[in-house]
Structure 1
Amino acid sequence: MRVFVTGASGFIGSAVTRELLDAGHEVLGLARSDRSAEAVKAAGATVHRGDLDDLDSLRRGAEAADAVAHLAFIHDFTNLTASGEADLRAIEAMGEVLAGTGKALVVTSGLLTAPGRVGTEEDPADPDTPAKHRHASESATLALAERGVSSSVLRLPPSVHGEGDYGFVPMFIDVAREKGVSAMVGDGTNHWAAVHRLDAARLFRLALEQAPAGVRLHAIGDEGVPFREIAETIGRGLDVPVAKVVAENATDHFGWLGRFAAIDMRASATLTGKLLGWQPEHPALIPDLKAGHYFKTN
């Protein structure tokens, strides 16, 4: 199977590319820069130049493939609404050429919050959650199932971890290093779901190969790690004290990361496991942090 992968050179996308190639598939990887193109080529994939704003390049990539894994996203945390709108346009463009073909389309989404309980794959996208910028993209993806596309949504938790991570956890480590203290909001009893990038990559492959049309999938290794444990592990890794920050001062301490430090986000992948036979195999978040690679400096 020839798979068009957007975000093919990214932290998660590069793992998906490797997973697909190792399974005997071909990969056509979207690259928006020379550096990205070199990474895609070095991995053994075919380079397809373009970006999320070049809708014609997305249509050509989808048309040239047997399936599409859409992982690229403009991570502009100062304007996630605009990022979500760009994502929706990209999905609609690829959906145009996939309609009626029966080809698989797996679209990346963010995990939703389910206050007071563990979220499941049956929870619909909610425009009132921190992942609201993904709401329209989820709806558009699942609607394509009615137009002859084997479309599915794959939700990722706030921490997709592993060596080379440049997401939220490294950002919190940078704050702790700068401030000289590893902080948590209140008692740190809020939770973060997490998954190792290699487990997430395997789920993308299984979704492309096996997922029925119109399903939501959860890539969850840890259903909910107390943020206190994350802060304490960061403190030990940097040899700095751990401290509590009241919710009103979270933004003062963490900057824009403050609202993410306070999120309570627990989720299950039980239905995904039953549907696709997927189970996490790689280290959970805390053991991965304890391995030491997160605290190396250049």
Structure 2
Amino acid sequence: MKVFLTGGSGYIGKAVIAALIGHGHSVEALTRSERAMRTVSSLGAVPVHGGLGDLGVLNTAAARAEAVIHLAQADTGDEDLAAATAMQDGIGTGPYVHTGGSWVYGDTDGVVDETAPWNPPALVAWRKPVEDAVLGRSGRGGRPVVVRPRVVAIGESGR
């Protein structure tokens, strides 16, 4: 399968690229810098130069793919929604995976599942309307799914 992803040089992105390549998929990954290009290339992915604001690049790369995984962190809801829309328009009927985050649940004392009410801090309050819009495009731009990984932290040991 041909997969296009954003955020490929990040912590989660590198693991996703390695897993996809390890399972025989071909991967193109959005890269903003020379360093990111070297990182994704070293993992076996083909770099696609651009950023989340390069909507034509996103749309064209998504159109070449059979699946899209959006892992990159947007700065605003407007930027994230525009990028998501461009990629969903490009992917056609293929799967579109949109990554959110567990911060949208707010303070939960560490216990939460997808049925928990949203209580986001202002920093990520924009995610709900974006995720609702992404999921609302089902049938008009890929088969969308939203994944909300928990906070990723690396301890002193680097693990």
TM-score range, shorter chain: 0.7 to 0.9
Letter in 2 for 1:113: Y
Equivalent residue, structure 1, for 2:88: 95
Matched residues in 1 for 2:47 and 2:20: separation? 15
Which secondary structure state, in structure 2, belongs to the residue aligned with residue 105 of structure 1? strand
Shift of 1:53: 0.8
Counterparts in 2 of 1:24-43, with a 5 A limit?
A: 24-43=24-43
Distance 1:110 1:56 in 2: 26
Distance 2:149 2:108 in 1: 20
Identity %: 36
Q: Which has the higher helix share?
A: 1
- Secondary structure of the residue aligned to 1:151 is strand
RMSD across aligned C-alpha pairs, in angstroms? 2.2
SS of 1:72's partner is coil
Equivalent residue number for residue 46 of structure 1: 46
* Structure 1 stretches lacking a partner, 5+ long: 75-81, 166-288
Cα shift at 1:147: 2.1
- The whole-number CA distance in structure 2 between the counterparts of 1:43 and 1:116 is 36
Unpaired runs of 5+ residues, structure 2, are: none
Contact 1:91/1:140, CA 8 A, preserved across alignment: no
SS in 2 for 1:122: coil
Distance 1:140 1:123, change over 3 A: farther
Letter in 1 for 2:88: G
Which of the two has higher C-alpha Rg? 1
Which gives a bigger RCO, structure 1 or 2 (Cα 8 Å, sep 6+)?
2
Deviation at 1:24, TM superposition (A): 1.1
Match of 1:113 in 2: 105
TM-score of the aligned structures, taking structure 1 as reference length: 0.48
Cross-structure match for 2:76: 83
Distance 1:47 1:26 in 2: 12
After superposition, give the CA deviation of every residue in 1:250-280 in whole Å (9 maximum; x if it has no partner).
xxxxxxxxxxxxxxxxxxxxxxxxxxxxxxx
Check 1:83–1:116 CA distance in 2 against 1; reply closer, same or farther (3 A cut). Answer: closer
Report runs of 4+ in structure 1 exceeding 6 Å deviation.
none
Using the alignment, how far apart are the partners of 1:123 and 1:147 within structure 2?
A: 28
Question: Residue 63 of structure 2 aligns with which residue?
Answer: 63
CA contact (8 A) 2:97 2:145 kept: yes
Q: Is the 8 A contact 1:71 1:107 kept in 2?
A: yes
Q: Equivalent residues in 2 for 1:194-233 (5 A)?
A: none
User: What is the 5 A alignment of 1:240-251?
Assistant: none
Match of 2:82, SS state, is helix
